[in-house]
Structure 1
Amino acid sequence: MDIILVPGLWLDASSWDDVVPALEAAGNRPLPMTLPGVGEPAERSAELGMSDWVDAVVDKIDAADGPVVLVGHSGGGNVVWGAADARSDRVARVVFVDTVPPPPDSAISEFDLVDGVVPFPGWDFFPDEDVSDLDGHTRARTLPLTRSVPARVPTEPVKLTGDRRRVPVTMLMGWMDQQQMEAELDQWGAYADEYRAIDDVTVKKIGSGHWPQFSVPDRLAALINESVAHPEPAVDGDDRT
């Protein structure tokens, strides 16, 4: 199975390097992406927005010989959901990595601009629950992998008008299992409505912070492979199908 790997903000295709070997060993063909404008100065990226990122993934889907699985980490979840919306007939499953399916016209977030782009704010910017499993060595090793993103991308709403909700979904959540997530849904507003409208959802707890591709890449790869090969039914309240 072709697995298109879409990174979140500030990351490129290399962020999946520790995940790729296990996906290949399972017989899949991982296709990690670097999205348009990542690492580029404002003069070359100012016009790029979320729609351009979605279009890049759609182009990758169209180039594949058959159905694909889309994997989106963090803000990449908005990207893959937009692509699934545009090509629901070509997407076998969408896997969200520590993020949730966005409702129509929602954006990722707003961050400070520096020289017309959004630079990585540093590991200390994030709450402890997101980064507590990244030790000093991992932070030092991965910091050079971060890149700026185009200014418009984090705040441009994702346009959703198609049949995305009939595509099967797996949500691989860092510290949250299905029971915890369901308990909080009423606080999610339109995000809860989007989740409840999806025909087929499986929720699994990774047991990690927000960057499992860095902290527990083997565990993340195993869960992706499992989602692609044989999604499991709910067990002990830990998953939802």
Structure 2
Amino acid sequence: MDILLIAGLWLDGSAWDDVVPELEALGHHPVPLTLPGQGDGATTATLEDQVAAVLSAVDRADQPAMVVGHSAACTLAWLAADARPEKVAKVALIGGFPSADGEAYADFFEAKDGLMAFPGWGPFEGADSADLDEEAKRTFEAAAIPVPEGVSKGVVHLGDDRRYDVPVVLVCPEFDPVQAQAWIDEGELPELAKARHVDLVDIDSGHWPMVTRPKELAQLLAAAATA
């Protein structure tokens, strides 16, 4: 199966470099995406540009694909299911949750000169970054790509209820499935509460398992693609 891989904020397609060969060895066709404004040199990209790039990849797939979103990009994966419910076989969400209609995409940190830079490790102390050593943190920070404000402050638009029929697997890294299910039950994750097929799977990692647990992550994604 084609597995489209969308990394979260400040990352480009190279974030999946250690996952791709593992998925290929398991018989799948991984397609890491570099989004407009996150690796192509553009600084004025919008959320609509990123959605269009994801949909273009979905449309190029020979058969319905699994779309994988990490962190904030979980919303991009869900937007793909909304726009192409007949072409998205499954959505995999890693360490994040889809925003609801009308919400901002990822307006988490202050933007300067039109760009939201990586804010440093302070906001990610604890479980998020516990499995990253100092060298890994330095490497990540040096490569982090400031996200255009047109992306981070873009407004999410959802409109096709058929997205709720697309199966979802939620990969739980810095939180566990019990916590995630409680958030769903309590109404904190309205899009997942309405989804009709949601599986929760655990991975013993921080927020970036593609960096710290690439083999295990690939195995989970491969299992989800073939389930």
Q: TM-score, normalised by structure 2?
A: 0.92
> Counterparts of 1:37-56 in structure 2 under 5 Å?
37-39=37-39, 44-46=42-44, 48-56=45-53
Judge which range, 140-149 or 62-71, deviates more. Answer: 140-149
- Tell me what 2:163 maps to: 164
Q: Does the aligned pair in 1 maintain the 2:67–2:91 contact within 8 Å? A: yes
Q: What are the within-5 Å matches in structure 2 for residues 44-123 of structure 1? A: 44-46=42-44, 48-107=45-104, 108-123=106-121
Partner of 1:207: 204
For the 8 Å contact 1:7–1:74, the answer to whether it is kept is yes
Aligned residues: 225
Q: Does the 8 Å CA contact 2:184/2:193 hold for their aligned counterparts?
A: no
Cα distance between partner residues in 2 of 1:71 and 1:213: 12
How far, CA to CA, are the matches of 1:77 and 1:26 in structure 2? 23
Change over 3 Å in CA distance of 1:141–1:200 after alignment to 2:
same
2:127 counterpart SS class: helix
Query: Counterparts of 1:115 and 1:156 in 2: how far apart (Å)?
Result: 16
CA distance in 1, matches of 2:26, 2:102: 36
Distance 1:177 1:126, change over 3 A: closer
1:28 aligns with 2:25: no
Determine if contact 1:138/1:215 at 8 Å carries over to the other structure.
no
State percent identity of aligned pairs: 39
User: Which blocks of at least 5 consecutive residues in structure 1 are unaligned?
Assistant: 231-241
Q: 1:27 and 1:186, CA in 2 relative to 1: closer, same or farther beyond 3 A?
A: closer
**Aligned partners of 2:69 and 2:180: how far apart in 1?**
19
More deviation, 59-68/99-108: 99-108
Asked if structure 2 preserves the Cα contact closer than 8 Å seen for 1:15 and 1:145, the reply is: no
Q: Does the 8 Å CA contact 2:103/2:155 hold for their aligned counterparts?
A: yes
Deviation, structure 1 residue 35: 0.4
AA aligned to 1:111 is F
User: How far apart, in 2, do the equivalents of 1:24 and 1:166 lie?
Assistant: 28
When the two chains are superposed, the root-mean-square deviation of aligned CA atoms in Å is: 1.7
Corresponding residue SS for 1:115: coil
Q: How far apart, in 2, do the equivalents of 1:103 and 1:92 lie?
A: 21
Q: Where does residue 236 of structure 1 map in the other structure?
A: none
| Contact in 2 for aligned 1:14/1:145 (Cα 8 Å) | no
Match of 1:173 in 2: 172
Per the alignment, residue 239 of structure 1 pairs with none
What 5-or-longer segments of structure 2 have no aligned partner? none
Supply the distance in 1 between the matched residues of 2:182 and 2:55 (Cα, whole angstroms). Answer: 34
* Displacement of 1:40: 6.5
**Is structure 2 residue 129 aligned with structure 1 residue 131?**
yes
Q: Is the partner of 1:131 in helix, strand or coil?
A: coil
